[in-house]
Amino acid sequence: MAMRLGVAAALAPTIAGARAGAADDTIPPLFDAAAKCGLRFGAAIDREIFDDPQYAALAARHAAVIGNINALKFDWLRPNSFTADYTTADKLVAFAEQHGKPFLGHTLIWNDWPPPWLTALGRKEKAATFAAHIDEVMGRYRGRIATWVVVNEPFSPWDRQPGHYRLGPWFSTFGPDYIARALRRARAADPSARLILNEAFCERRDDIGAAVRPALLRLVKTLRDADVPFDAVGLQGHVQPQHGLDHDAYVRFMDQLAAEKVELEITELDVDDSRIPGNAAQRDAAVAEHYRAFVAAVMRVPALTAITTWGLSDKYSWYHEVAQKENPLAPHQPRTHPFDNAGQPKAAFHALIERLSSC
Ligand code: G3I
């Protein structure tokens, strides 16, 4: 695999330790392992770090890039009206800056989870809101957020639209052109920021993945042919074994995307263990093997520049919400991340250390 020259050095954090709390400095940082192969390793976190110094320290120690999970989303910034509350987002960006780490902002334009007040607007008002939102948020963090997920999840086969486009306020306003509009506006709002087009489901070997992969490839080609500005494609990497996995085919898909002269990032890596049988130790071993196999596969693609996990510990896994919705009486306790509920490294952590540093 070709070494990615210069990337890690440019982005490796200047602060090795973590001011936020006492991180276990006897275990090697994940970002260090990744940097050995020229990869940036990041972690998306959120407001939980403000009340959990140990978790804050874990993020500060192991991530070279800090991202947010929810705080910069449209509905978390503007739940009731266009007036935004940036309190949490400001604190997260400040946390990253305090630790000398670049920030990955998620996400400016997403057709999912629109607050009711946005849905109720007329087309012209939505169009004005679209532009004002991008300008205001990117203007506020201009030069402080290194990379933006500008458009998230343009596709949703469940919506049964031509081209598998996801329905929502932005699609209803502009049609598929909302994607190019968002990217162009983002480039103008902060020319210093790297811009990502982000998609889910491409890992799945079912009809969903079979629909989304060609749709995303077609979209990237269209955007490139029209000289629409963006720097990377984000593949979320929520590894869900129950939907089937074919890592060789996934690498071939990544290579097809890379041929369009885009960088690639894994932007939301975690492993769903809800359908993995056995006790905790057996599930941990299986989850570790999924991390190892997935990372080994994607690292075969020279265009890959970064891997970001969607959280770091089981304690704050989003799969708690999924499990609660599936079975409120006896929710499955997720073991999806490199660190356990107590912030201790699991088999998945050791698998990541071994694979990220193998090149
Ligand atoms: O909007 C409702 C609000 O009306 C209600 O009062 C509140 C009560 O809990 O819930 C609000 O919905 C929450 C929603 O975030 C708002 O955006 C849901 O409960 C909450 O479960 C939801 O979770 C986040 C989800 O994105 C939607 O934003 C998850 O924490 C977050 O992990 C998840 O992350 C997504 C990425 O952004 C995109 N890729 C997939 C990934 C996992 O779904």
Q: Is 156 in the pocket of ligand 1 (CB under 6 A)?
A: no
CA 127, CA 114: separation in Å to the nearest integer? Answer: 14
CA 269, CA 294: separation in Å to the nearest integer? Answer: 9
pLDDT, one tens digit per residue, over 119-128 is 999 999 999 9
- What per-residue confidence (pLDDT) applies to 26? 84
Considering only CA atoms, which residue is closest to atom 27 of ligand 1? 113
Q: Is 151 in the pocket of ligand 1 (CB under 6 A)?
A: no
pLDDT, one tens digit per residue, over 217-274 is 999 999 999 999 999 999 999 999 999 999 999 999 999 999 999 999 999 999 999 9
Q: Is 70 in the pocket of ligand 1 (CB under 6 A)?
A: yes
For residues 33 and 87, is the Cβ–Cβ distance under 8 A? no
Considering only CA atoms, which residue is closest to atom 6 of ligand 1? 79
- What per-residue confidence (pLDDT) applies to 12? 44
pLDDT, one tens digit per residue, over 311-351 is 999 999 999 999 999 999 999 999 999 999 999 999 999 99
For residues 267 and 235, is the Cβ–Cβ distance under 8 A? yes
pLDDT, one tens digit per residue, over 27-79 is 999 999 999 999 999 999 999 999 999 999 999 999 999 999 999 999 999 99
CA 105, CA 310: separation in Å to the nearest integer? Answer: 13
pLDDT, one tens digit per residue, over 283-313 is 999 999 999 999 999 999 999 999 999 999 9
Overall residue count recorded for the chain in this entry: 359
How many angstroms separate the alpha carbon of residue 3 from the centre of ligand 1? 37
CA 18, CA 28: separation in Å to the nearest integer? Answer: 13
**324-354 burial by CB neighbour count: b if 16+ within 10 A, else e?**
eeeeeeebbbbbbbbbbeebebbbbbbbbbe
Asked if pLDDT for residue 6 goes beyond 70, the answer is no
- What per-residue confidence (pLDDT) applies to 228? 98
Q: Is 198 in the pocket of ligand 1 (CB under 6 A)?
A: no
CA 71, CA 268: separation in Å to the nearest integer? Answer: 15
Q: What is the distance between the terminal CA atoms of the chain, rounded to a whole angstrom?
A: 6
For residue 110, list its beta bridge partners. Answer: 152
Asked if pLDDT for residue 178 goes beyond 50, the answer is yes
CA 153, CA 332: separation in Å to the nearest integer? Answer: 26
- What per-residue confidence (pLDDT) applies to 249? 97
For residues 321 and 270, is the Cβ–Cβ distance under 8 A? no
DSSP calls for 228-274: ----EEEE--EE-GGG---HHHHHHHHHHHHTTS-EEEEEEEEE--T
Asked if pLDDT for residue 8 goes beyond 70, the answer is no
**107: alpha, beta or left, given left = phi > 0 and alpha = psi -120 to 50?**
beta
